[in-house]
């Protein structure tokens, strides 16, 4: 691991009681603190910092990395996690978000929700009296973005000035990645087909962040132009969960946006490839790239555990 910051002892970082819905609610300094804590916890994985603490995890979308990283993270920190499938709790039978938030707040020390509508996350945060963590919604995927940035820090040794290029659908992953990278002073480029751009308000907020950080943001429909000199190239599936009916159309619309060896030949010789997983090999990325020497996708996936633990510890104590 390349240490560009000094990892603090766990008790030095506290964002106690805060929610994590989007990184727009945080400062660059707070994000750097979380990254440093994640580095510390990666090297010192077991503690009793969350002994006696319980995390309630609501899932309306299935998951591999989100569920296992949060559950394992709570266990490694001495706490406990409860899996709550929306079909098995009253939320799936018509109980309001507000009532669910109030009841769960009396049982657990924090709530993580992985859902579709962003409004469900914001409502849960409004009515809960314990921290609420956005495990994914239609607009944001903040925990994934923090793992992405930690991986960039580890592979590049720095963040400010790094050129990161996101190729593909301007979705929730793209939104949180754009926001966080812009906040931390990176050169952010997004390349997508017409009609699949990130939301305009997210683009506007991303541009605003670059003014203070000294970073930059560019949107282009030309992936070859986008990746020129790129230090990091990132992609995601073309049809996300809930978009299965659009899969055939998206396969046609995204032709030319596959991350392959020819595309990466325009990037930096030391380019790092990222993917949030799960991946569809030979669609958005070729096997030669994702399984090749420039790929850091499994390091990136592992980092979900370490950043989740940093988030949990910071918000709970």
Helical H segments across the chain, by residue range:
28-43, 65-76, 97-105, 118-127, 142-156, 172-183, 200-213, 223-226, 247-253, 261-264, 287-290, 297-316
Query: Strand, helix or coil at 199?
Result: coil
* Residue carrying structure tokens 């910071």: 314
Residues near 53 by beta carbon (within 8 Å), at least 6 away in sequence: 74, 77, 78, 79, 80, 109, 110, 316, 317
Neighbours of 230 (CB within 10 A): 23
Nearest to 217 by CA among 263, 177, 273: 177
Q: Rounded CA gap, 290 and 179, in Å?
A: 24
Annotated catalytic residues are 114, 141, 144, 236, 276, 304
Q: Which two tokens stand for residue 137?
A: 């919604």
Element at 56 (helix H, strand E): strand 54-59
Residues 6+ apart with CB under 8 A from 31: 23, 146, 149, 180, 183, 184
Reduced to 3 states (helix: H, G, I; strand: E, B; else coil), residue 222 is: coil
**Helices and strands, number each (H, E), in the chain:** 12, 9
Alpha helices (H) in 15-141, listed in sequence order: 28-43, 65-76, 97-105, 118-127
State the alpha helices, DSSP H only, in 157-272: 172-183, 200-213, 223-226, 247-253, 261-264
């Amino acid at each position: 691991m390349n240490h560009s910051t000094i990892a603090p002892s766990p008790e030095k970082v506290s964002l106690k009681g805060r929610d994590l819905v989007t990184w727009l609610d945080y400062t660059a300094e707070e994000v750097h603190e979380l990254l440093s804590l994640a580095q510390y916890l990666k090297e010192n994985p077991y503690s009793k910092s969350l002994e006696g603490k319980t995390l309630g995890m609501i899932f309306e979308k299935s998951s591999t990395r989100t569920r296992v990283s949060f559950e394992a993270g709570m266990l490694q920190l001495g706490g406990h996690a409860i899996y709550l499938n929306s079909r098995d709790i009253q939320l799936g039978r018509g109980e309001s978000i507000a009532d669910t938030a109030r009841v769960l707040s009396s049982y657990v020390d924090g709530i993580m929700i992985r859902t579709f509508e962003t409004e469900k996350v914001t409502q849960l945060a409004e009515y809960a009296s314990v921290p609420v963590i956005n495990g994914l919604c239609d607009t944001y995927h903040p925990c994934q973005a923090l793992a992405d940035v930690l991986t960039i820090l580890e592979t590049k040794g720095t963040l400010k000035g790094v050129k990161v290029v996101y190729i593909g659908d301007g979705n929730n992953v793209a939104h949180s990645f754009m926001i966080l990278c812009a906040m931390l002073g990176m050169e952010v480029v997004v390349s997508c087909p017409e009609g699949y751009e990130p939301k305009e308000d997210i683009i506007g907020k991303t541009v605003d962040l670059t003014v203070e950080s000294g970073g930059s943001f560019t949107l282009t429909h030309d992936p070859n132009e986008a990746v020129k000199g790129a230090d990091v190239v990132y992609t995601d599936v073309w049809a996300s969960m809930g978009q299965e009916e659009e899969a055939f159309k998206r396969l046609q619309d995204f032709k030319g946006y596959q991350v392959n060896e020819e595309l990466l030949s325009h990037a930096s010789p030391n380019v790092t490839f990222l993917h949030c997983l799960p991946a569809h090999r030979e669609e958005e990325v070729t096997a030669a790239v994702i399984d090749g020497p420039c790929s850091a996708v499994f390091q990136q996936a592992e980092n979900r555990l370490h950043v989740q633990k940093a988030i949990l510890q910071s918000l709970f104590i």
